[in-house]
């Protein structure tokens, strides 16, 4: 725990600002951890040592001259390989883009650069971020740091593995059907899906879209909040959402939860959930009760969320990947082809019904949270499965219909547009991490992070064995 690889972001920032630690020294530590662990885990798929050291040295020079710097300047980060970074190979996990080098930055990368973060490379993701199992034809599979025979989840799988194993203090990710929450859950980290509009997305094909959002992954809720303080904020190029002052996310997360009303749903409307997951989460309720919170078993009616999510997702894929389907279908994986074809079959009536259902999901969650402060439920319905398995086809004997069905516990929350985090609260009997999904009021990301901060297991219990003892 005295290793730089597992210091909190707040501590690292204080050391950097006071010049007790240089940005170059911190980069040295991260790269040493990457060199030691990444060959087995495959979390970082593109590495720019030269550019990273140039940024670290520039930050150190500014501080040596007494020039103003962001409190996050010099902190290393690697970018999910869906996000365009100027001058850095960005493959999207697809053979179609295996050699693409963008000549522009997204909004988020612009912000990282303006704050002086050290961008050292890219983290692995499934092809076009589709599915919560991180493997692709360009770079192969990313392994779970707790058991390399298991998946790390996805689609922000490389990010979660890099953070959990101490390669990075935090990482960015994106989430449509659980892609921030699912890998954080499988790796024993914190992943936050913000409310749509909290983190601006640009460029994007749909400026009005609410399904896919950007957010942070980190080892602790506080570290995730620090990254969110840079990701969030207003921008005139986006169409939805206004954030206000994002520096509030760097304030301490401590809070009194005595009397807080929390609804607990073990299956989120009767979904199949592995017994091992149910048992671990049930035991973890004691962590919430120890806060003085009032726990009641209850859930909103999200029975219409599945169709709303599936239709909106398929429609998005037609918009974003339709041209590749028409021109390069042979280079797309089977599940991508299937999902695009589902979108091509949609009628106007189906799309209209799905949009209405998504609105109803939002309204139902809003009404439900007038009676409760939070909803807690499973992040994933299964434990990490074999890394060679594309996706589960059954849960405890219940057959599943598509590659998305084992993720419905996350997808249903997406359909409500409410912020949700995976908080590492338990371990299953086989030693693999299990997270609790914490859902809060719309726009209340800080409240969600506060509860995650209060119930997360101590970091000392959440460092994979092979990641310890590095520096």
Residues belonging to the active site: 80, 155, 179
428 phi and psi angles, rounded to 5 deg: -75, 170
End-to-end CA distance of the chain: 10
CA distances for 181 relative to 15, 134, 287, 379, 450, angstroms:
30, 14, 20, 7, 16
Neighbours of 241 (CB within 10 A): 19
- Residue 73 CA to residue 71 CA, distance in Å, equals 6
- The structure tokens listed for 458 are 């101590």
* Cis bond upstream, residue 203 (ω within 30): yes
Report the phi/psi class of residue 129: left, alpha or beta, with left for phi > 0 and alpha for psi in -120 to 50: left
The rounded radius of gyration (Å) of the Cα atoms in the chain is 21
How many residues does the structure list for the chain? 471
> Which residue stretches of 1-80 are H helix?
9-17, 23-41, 49-64
Q: Which of 196, 194, 173, 198 is nearest to 183 (CA)?
A: 173
CB 216 within 8 A of CB 224: yes
Burial class of residue 341 in the structure, from the number of CB atoms within 10 Å of its CB (0-12 exposed, 13-18 middle, 19+ buried)? middle
Burial class of residue 245 in the structure, from the number of CB atoms within 10 Å of its CB (0-12 exposed, 13-18 middle, 19+ buried)? exposed
Beta strands in 62-221 (DSSP E): 76-80, 118-123, 135-136, 140-141, 143-144, 147-151, 170-175, 190-193, 213-218
Provide the 8-state DSSP code for 441: S
Contacts for 428 with CB less than 8 Å, ≥ 6 apart: 276, 277, 279, 280, 383, 434
CB 311 within 8 A of CB 351: yes
């Amino acid at each position: 725990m005295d290793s730089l690889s597992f210091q909190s972001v707040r501590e690292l920032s204080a050391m950097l600002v006071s010049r007790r630690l240089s940005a170059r020294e911190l980069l040295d530590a991260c790269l040493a951890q990457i060199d030691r662990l990444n060959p087995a885990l495959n979390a970082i798929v593109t590495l720019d040592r030269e550019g990273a050291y140039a940024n670290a040295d520039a930050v150190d020079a500014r501080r040596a001259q007494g020039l103003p710097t962001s409190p996050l300047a010099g902190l290393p980060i690697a970018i999910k390989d869906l996000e365009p970074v100027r001058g850095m190979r960005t493959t999207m996990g697809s053979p179609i883009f295996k050699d693409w080098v963008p000549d522009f930055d997204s909004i988020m990368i612009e912000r990282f650069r303006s704050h002086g973060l050290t961008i050292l490379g890219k983290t692995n993701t499934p092809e076009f971020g589709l599915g919560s199992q991180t493997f692709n034809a360009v770079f192969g599979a990313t392994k779970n740091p707790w058991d390399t025979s298991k998946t790390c989840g996805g689609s922000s799988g490389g990010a979660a593995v890099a953070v959990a194993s101490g390669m990075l203090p935090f990482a960015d990710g994106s989430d449509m059907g659980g892609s921030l929450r699912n890998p954080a859950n499988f790796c024993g980290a914190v992943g936050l899906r913000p409310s749509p509009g909290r983190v601006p997305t640009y460029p994007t094909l749909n400026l009005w879209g609410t399904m896919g959002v950007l957010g942070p992954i980190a080892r602790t809720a506080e570290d995730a909040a620090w990254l969110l303080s840079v990701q969030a904020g207003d921008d005139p190029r986006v169409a939805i959402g206004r954030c206000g002052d994002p520096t509030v996310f760097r304030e301490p997360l401590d809070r009194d939860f005595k009397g807080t009303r929390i609804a607990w749903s073990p299956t989120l409307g009767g979904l199949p959930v592995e017994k091992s997951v149910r048992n671990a989460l049930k035991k973890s309720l004691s962590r919430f009760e120890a806060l003085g919170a009032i726990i009641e078993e209850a859930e909103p009616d999200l029975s219409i969320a599945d169709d709303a999510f599936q239709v909106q997702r398929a429609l998005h894929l037609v918009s974003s990947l339709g041209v590749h389907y028409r021109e390069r279908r042979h280079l797309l994986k089977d599940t991508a082809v299937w999902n695009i074809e589902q979108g091509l079959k949609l009628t106007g009536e189906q799309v209209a019904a799905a949009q209405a259902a998504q609105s109803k999901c939002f309204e139902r969650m809003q009404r439900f949270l007038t009676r409760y402060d939070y909803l807690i439920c499973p992040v994933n319905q299964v434990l990490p499965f074999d890394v060679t398995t594309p996706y589960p086809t059954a849960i405890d004997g219940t057959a599943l219909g598509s590659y998305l069905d084992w993720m419905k516990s996350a997808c249903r929350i997406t359909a409500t547009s409410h912020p949700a985090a995976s908080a590492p609260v338990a371990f299953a009997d086989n030693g693999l991490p299990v997270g609790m999904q914490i859902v809060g009021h719309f726009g209340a990301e800080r409240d969600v992070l506060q509860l995650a901060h209060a119930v997360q297991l101590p970091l000392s219990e959440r460092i994979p064995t092979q990641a310890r003892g590095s520096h």
